[in-house]
Structure 1
Amino acid sequence: MPPPVQLAQLNVARLLAPIDSPQLADFVARLDEINALAERSPGFVWRFEGDAREGGTGLPDDADMIYNLSVWESSEALFDYVYRSAHKTVMTRRREWFAKAADMHMVLWWVPAGHRPDIGEAMARLAELQANGPSPAAFSFREAFDAEGRPVGRGVLTTAG
């Protein structure tokens, strides 16, 4: 039996205005609520907290970029949180707060259960997806792979075949 795995995800976004600007006030006001929703969602395991630019990650010192990194028990759990919870109401307003991404802005990959990826590892996965397209090592909901590396359809990832 293969070792248990969990799904890591990273998404990045470029802010359209400074984080303390009136334009982003509604977004900032909902951050604690949406983070708490994630933390109490079924299947949530862990999320990166803090400033991704600190701690020697090698990221550019770019105050306009924000990073969200988390680990989930399954893709279904992550999908439900992103698209079937109050998080979706925030996503419907993303164009008010974030620039349209020219490149890939989200990546998924399987990690051994208990592993907590850092921002550097996550950014490397995003770069891999951007450079090489979807693979078992770096993919999206649209072109996903199961934990055994087999391609699956949109939103139907599972930890087991």
Structure 2
Amino acid sequence: MPPLALYTFGVLKSPLADPAPLTHEFYDIGEAVYRRISRHPGYLAHAEAADGARGSLFEADWGAWGEFAVPTWYGKGRTAETTALAATLSLWTDLRPAFDAVYSGPHREALNRRYDWFERTGHPNYVFWWASDGVPPTWRDGVSRLEHLHRHGSAPHAFTFHDSFTPEGTPLRPDAGTTGRI
């Protein structure tokens, strides 16, 4: 079965470089979330900048994950001092492990506080798709899928937890109890 790609994107209320306590809290919680998720069953990998620098998303070397990209609706800064976004790109074995990781533990706690940090944009903030075996998805892939989801809704090309699909394109029922169904 091919890996499941997950791209998340949110517009922050203040730049990543903001020295305010709320920004530091977001970073601290984010680091704890990544540590926990990276050990979660079903997690395969996530995009990491080669230099590990915070706030320099656009200038960072992302290796096989490609050049950093954002949706067209992002209108804030693109420098280390002005960037006001949070984005992730990860790979999973299936929907159930991704669902469990997102809606439990520290990530669930962070979701409960998302409006402390993020603007409400009226756009989707995550998208799934089945990636090709052996080829990591790129940031541009994630942006393209998220924009497709926004324009057309869930489809085998770009979908959500609630309206998801098998790798073959068959819709999944949210209440089904078998592997891959949530």
Normalised-by-shorter TM-score class: 0.7 to 0.9
Which residue pairs with 1:23 in the alignment?
22
Take 1:155 and 1:15, find their aligned partners in 2: how far apart are those partners? 33
Deviations 1:64-90 (A, max 9, x none): 122111000111110000012321011
Structure 1: where are the runs of 5+ without partners?
none
Instruction: Report the TM-score, using the length of structure 2 for normalisation.
Output: 0.77
Q: How does 1:2-151 map to 2 (within 5 A)?
A: 4-19=1-16, 20=18, 21-50=20-49, 51-54=56-59, 56-59=67-70, 61=78, 63-151=83-171
Identity of aligned residues (%): 27
List structure 1 runs of 4+ shifted beyond 6 angstroms.
Answer: none
Q: Matched residue of 1:45: which SS?
A: strand
Instruction: Report the TM-score, using the length of structure 1 for normalisation.
Output: 0.87
Question: CA RMSD of the aligned region, Å?
Answer: 2.2
The amino acid of 2:159's aligned partner reads F
Contact 1:79–1:155 (CA under 8 A) maintained in structure 2: no
Greater share of strand residues, 1 or 2? 1
Q: Matched residue of 1:135: which SS?
A: coil
Q: State the aligned residue count.
A: 157
Deviations 1:97-141 (A, max 9, x none): 111131111100011233311111110111111111111010001
Take 1:5 and 1:125, find their aligned partners in 2: how far apart are those partners? 17
Contact 1:52–1:67 (CA under 8 A) maintained in structure 2: no
Q: Matched residue of 2:8: which SS?
A: strand
